[in-house]
């Protein structure tokens, strides 16, 4: 397969994964997903399995369970039945069986274990675009500093971006990804100085490290031609809870944790299916000597 064909293949499959994540609350057929990808329904299942390393059904089930697990961990008021229905399961019983098979614990016991260990919903949803490596074994280390976190409810417009994706563990490798892959690509395409986004598509507390997807994105109009075969997408608009973070990399996980564990349950809002986003405006400061940086931590919310 030549480079151009490989890029088109990847682009179509990325579109399918995005479609799945946005429609986990309803049934998704192979025929529908094949149509999204513009591939033959007859061959799509085999192609998807070869590309993802798991069947369509296994992938959809895993994403439903991971999304439900994140909801249970971050929203104490959500019942097991509510989490099950929101994730596309027809009953709490079917959800509980699938959940226990995947995570090793029933949903209620798993939620209790998360609360006791203080892991929370976003142990390290961090990108650090163009910054030192991030990733923390104890996201609660700096939690007390953010007990009175300041949050604004912001209506954000959809944003067209070009992105490079990394699949694998979050943490230090993301800093290297920005520095060694993304920054040179941005420089080659004269993209330095434009708004950037770190988009974590999976929750590292529930998704296996090798399956975590991360997009390093730059805001560009869709018609702009770029070298390097980046993917294109739209960062969803809508309502976000935004915390304007300023501090060293060691504190960002504590800020994310405070947003989800402390602020969200008392807000009267809940998470929806859009991804968490770190927005780096063009004027966002970064001090390489101290590691202090600025970013907008954008958590997608909707009415409870």
Tell me whether residue 126 is in a domain. Answer: no
Q: How far apart are CA 245 and CA 248, in angstroms?
A: 10
**Confidence check: pLDDT of 142 > 70:** no
8 A C-beta contact, residue 216 and residue 126: no
Tell me whether residue 10 is in a domain. Answer: yes
Average pLDDT, rounded, for the chain = 86
pLDDT at position 4 = 45
What number is the average pLDDT over the span 249-270? Answer: 84
pLDDT at position 243 = 96
Q: How far apart are CA 138 and CA 20, in angstroms?
A: 31
pLDDT at position 147 = 52
Helix, strand, coil % in the chain, rounded to nearest 5:
45, 20, 35
Domain end, chosen from 101, 117, 133, is at 117
Q: How far apart are CA 303 and CA 249, in angstroms?
A: 31
Co-location of 148 and 83 in the same domain: no
Tell me whether residue 127 is in a domain. Answer: no
The whole domain housing 211 covers 143-303
Co-location of 31 and 83 in the same domain: yes
CA–CA–CA angle 112, 61, 9 (5° rounding): 130
Co-location of 169 and 76 in the same domain: no
What number is the average pLDDT over the span 244-263? Answer: 85
pLDDT, tens only, 263-302: 988 888 888 888 999 999 999 988 888 888 899 999 999 9
Co-location of 200 and 73 in the same domain: no
Co-location of 169 and 279 in the same domain: yes
Using the Cα atoms of residue 106, residue 108, residue 111 and residue 112 in order, give the sign of their dihedral. Answer: negative
Co-location of 153 and 100 in the same domain: no
Co-location of 162 and 284 in the same domain: yes
User: Which CATH number characterizes residue 259's domain?
Assistant: 3.20.80.10
**Confidence check: pLDDT of 3 > 70:** no
User: Which CATH number characterizes residue 27's domain?
Assistant: 1.10.10.60
Tokens 């490290």 belong to: 209
Q: Count of residues for the chain?
A: 304
Co-location of 298 and 150 in the same domain: yes
pLDDT at position 40 = 87
Tell me whether residue 123 is in a domain. Answer: no
Tell me whether residue 136 is in a domain. Answer: no
Co-location of 66 and 154 in the same domain: no
**Confidence check: pLDDT of 103 > 80:** yes
pLDDT at position 148 = 66
What number is the average pLDDT over the span 160-180? Answer: 90
The total number of structural domains in the chain stands at 2
Co-location of 92 and 200 in the same domain: no
Tell me whether residue 211 is in a domain. Answer: yes
Tell me whether residue 110 is in a domain. Answer: yes
pLDDT at position 189 = 98
pLDDT, tens only, 235-248: 999 999 999 999 88
CA–CA–CA angle 271, 274, 277 (5° rounding): 95
8 A C-beta contact, residue 45 and residue 56: yes
139-172 b/e (C-beta count within 10 Å ≥ 16 → b)? bbebbeebeebebeeeebeebebbbbbbeebbbe
Query: 293 — phi, psi (to 5°)?
Result: -140, 170
pLDDT at position 118 = 53
Q: What is the pLDDT confidence band of residue 130, given thresholds at 50, 70 and 90? A: very low
Co-location of 60 and 184 in the same domain: no
Tell me whether residue 175 is in a domain. Answer: yes
Co-location of 108 and 215 in the same domain: no
Q: How far apart are CA 128 and CA 130, in angstroms?
A: 6
């Amino acid at each position: 397969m030549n480079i151009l064909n490989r890029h088109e293949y990847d682009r179509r499959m990325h579109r399918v994964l995005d479609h799945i994540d946005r429609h986990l609350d309803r049934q998704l057929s192979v025929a529908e997903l094949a149509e999204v990808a513009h591939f033959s329904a007859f061959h799509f299942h085999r192609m998807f399995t070869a590309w993802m390393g798991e069947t369509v059904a296994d992938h959809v089930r895993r994403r439903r369970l991971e999304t439900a697990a994140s909801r249970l961990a971050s929203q104490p008021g959500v019942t097991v039945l509510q989490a099950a229905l929101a994730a596309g399961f027809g009953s709490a019983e079917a959800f509980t069986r699938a959940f226990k098979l995947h995570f090793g614990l029933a949903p209620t016991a798993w939620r209790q274990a998360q609360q006791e260990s203080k892991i929370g919903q976003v142990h390290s949803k961090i990108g650090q675009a163009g910054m030192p490596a991030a990733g923390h074994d104890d996201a609660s280390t700096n939690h007390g500093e953010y007990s009175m976190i300041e949050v604004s409810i912001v209506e954000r417009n959809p944003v067209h971006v070009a992105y490079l994706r990394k699949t694998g563990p979050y943490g230090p490798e993301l800093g290297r990804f920005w520095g060694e892959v993304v920054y040179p690509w941005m420089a080659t395409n004269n993209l330095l100085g434009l708004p950037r986004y770190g988009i974590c598509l999976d929750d590292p507390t529930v998704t296996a490290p090798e399956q975590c997807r991360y997009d390093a994105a730059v805001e560009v109009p869709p018609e702009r031609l770029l070298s390097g075969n980046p993917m294109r997408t739209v960062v969803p608009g809508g309502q976000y809870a935004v915390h304007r973070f300023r501090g060293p990399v060691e504190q960002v996980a504590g800020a994310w944790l405070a947003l989800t564990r402390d602020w969200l349950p008392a807000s009267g809002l809940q998470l929806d299916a859009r991804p968490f986003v770190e927005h780096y405006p063009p004027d966002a400061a970064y001090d390489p000597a101290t590691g202090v940086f600025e970013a907008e931590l954008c958590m997608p919310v909707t009415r409870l």
